Chain A
Amino acid sequence: MNNQKNHNPFYDPSLSSRHRSARLFKAFTRGSILITLAFLCFFIFDMVRTAYPAMWQSYVKVEVSYNEKSSKISQKAIDKKFRKIVSRAWLRSIPKLLKQQPELMGTTANQWVLADDQVDQYMKGHHHNLKQKQVSVIETLKTNAQIELRWNNIFLSQGDSKLPENAGVYSSLIGSIFTLFVTLAIAFPLGVMTAIHLEEFARDNMLTRIIEVNINNLAAIPSILFGLLGLAVFINLFGLPRSSPLVGGLTLALMTLPIIIVSARAALRSVPDSIRQAGYGLGLTKIQIIQGNVLPIAFPGILTGTIIGLAQAMGETAPLIIIGMIAFIPDSPNSITDAATVLPAQIFTWAGMPERAYVEKTAAGIMVILLILFFLNAAAIYLRKKYEIKW
């Protein structure tokens, strides 16, 4: 009986090595996905860690004397030993301040002012180029509680600056909005119209096939080549202003077009034919049916694709470099023909700066763009889920 219980006619010793290799293979695939996830986690950790110090900025409390001398040579407004401690950007603003508020003239004030970027780096424990004399000045200020790290409200409200402590993403954000506005205004109607043509009207002829192959290829062309197109056609041929959101937006629109077309076609295709048949039954023309019945149903799907396309355009940098949107532009543009920069180009510019203080600014800029992309994609997913109709 016992013997029979142990008897296993299915025992096959040759299988153990095969099972071992099966486990190895599974471990390999699991390892692959874990590597990917680990990379993502490490990347986000690294970015947050690098960007975190940019949330704070050093301020010092110094005696400022507003007088004739300091309105001409603003450095004279403060004591000599603090001149390397405070931000040059703040010093430069003194004459302007005095013009705006003449009543300050002749007064002295003991006030908090923005510190120099090297001081800021010292305060954050980073590498700095300060001389021993300046370090001891800072240490004295520290013991007197006359220097502190404060919430950095410059970063989101100021434009680019050659002085890191005064640099922010505001102007590039405005540039991005202008550019994306142009992109949306061009790519959305063109993309939806193309999709309607291909899904609802086009017969299977030569032209249709060429268009379809073309859209496919357009999606695979490297983005930098769109930059060459923008440079050669929009700037050199049409004479549109270089570095402007107009040219940037047009270039990005052509890149976004295939994404919008593909998603709009999918959305139109998902509208059941019965809707169209019902329209014909009521004696409506094809265009009326598409306008009144098909497009409203397909709209959420089209919108989702458009948002995803815009998110991609938002992060695009290479073609915009080619058309000159990386110039140093501290002020935000007032129209789509002004010279401007965009957020990813701002990140690129800062990443190339030699000052250590720009590293944290770059990472902070990256956090801003990642957050924007996150919300754009979340909106797209939300729309898709909310309006997902099962036929």
Chain B
Amino acid sequence: MITTKGNSKENIIRFLLIFASVISIITTIGILFSIFFQAIEFFQLKSFWYFLFGTEWSPGQENSKFGALPIFAGTFMITVIALLVAIPVGVGSAIYMSEYSSRLRRNILKPILEILAGIPTVVYGFFAALTIAPAIVSISGWFGLTAAYNSALACGIVMGVMIIPIIASLSDDVLRAVPNSQRNASLALGMTHSETIRHIIVPSAMPGIISAGLLGLSKAIGETMIVVMAAGLRPNLSWNPLEDMTTVTVRIVDSLVGDHAFDSPDTMSAFALGLVLFVVTLVLNMISLSQIRKFKAKYKINTL
């Protein structure tokens, strides 16, 4: 017999469970609001449109200007380099693991990729600054080019390596989820294995691969330590990846670790940049999720 006392105890527990679940919502709202209100305050002092499209970023001066376009451009450049490294290598690795390697070999390769994914980004940052950046300077030298010691290229390459496991692991899952009947159908028509992969398997898995790529993109945009340690501080609107550039995350860190007053525009610019970062990564994540949902619906898969 269930007593009323037992019931009220159950109710308290259930209330606690719901309360715990709501924390995640509170966190998101908390992040949004903590960024949003500071950003609004910033935009009351400085022009919103100049922030988005202005080309001069000069904090800490009389008549400081906050045009973030060079910062966005630097983020874009480093991110594109990262994706140029990570997408071919990541998808190629995924195809190798899911289509060509034996089960045994795959069971070894996947944990190795997980090691790469588990390396803290501060470590990648040190590696970029200590080894990759000087290497790029000397390699550029052989070709008669000058590269900065904090070049966008060095950051981009290391960031690319950082997101390889994300793309490879998710793509591998998706490729393996493509039903075997598709493989058999193509092979039975006299297609080679690689033709089957390129024309049938990869297109079938494309929503999932796109989703993986977007997730990698979102990680690259939000990545902080690699760029803080290996990229420049100078907003630089340039197409040359050998020059130093700065990113949104670098500027956020720089304006918050300095000795500015909390309500100075210098500090609050960090929140304006944070708002942009929040919106962009949120949108990317939403698209990524909808892509993977599309893939799941197509093949009625629940395990991804």
Contacts and interface: CB of A to CB of B under 8 A. Distances in A.
Indicate, yes or no, whether A interacts with B. Answer: yes
Interface in A233-270: 233, 236, 254, 257-258, 261
A285 B20 contact: no
Nearest to B124: A43
A197 B129 contact: no
A198 interface: yes
Contacts, number: 244
B120 A217 contact: no
Contact of B23 (A190, A217, A318, A369): A190
A344 B224 CA distance: 13
A50 B130 contact: yes
Contacts of A344: 120, 122-123
18 contacts: A36-B164, A37-B112, A47-B123, A201-B17, A214-B24, A221-B222, A222-B223, A222-B277, A224-B222, A224-B274, A229-B27, A312-B118, A318-B228, A324-B257, A326-B257, A348-B228, A362-B126, A369-B120
Nearest to B252: A224
A256 B72 CA distance: 28
A201 B21 CA distance: 11
B93 A29 contact: yes
Interface of A is mostly: helix
Given A194-B20, A228-B270, A370-B123, A221 B10 contact: no
Which of B192, B215, B225 has most A Cβ within 10 Å? B225
Contacts of B274: 224-225, 228
Interface string B264-304: 00000011001001100110111011000000000000000
Given A25-B198, A30-B96, A348 B253 contact: no
Contacts of A314: 120
B88 A351 contact: no
A229 B24 contact: no
B268 to A, nearest CB: 11
**Interface magnitude class on chain B:** 35 or more
Interface residues of A, number: 85
A91 interface: no
B50 interface: no
A1 to B, nearest CB: 30
Interface in B143-192: 161, 164, 168, 192
Interface stretch (B29-37, B52-60, B61-69, B233-241): B29-37
Contacts of B113: 36
B95 interface: yes
Which of B13, B27, B99 has most A Cβ within 10 Å? B27
A369 B34 contact: no
A22 B10 contact: no
B115 A229 contact: no
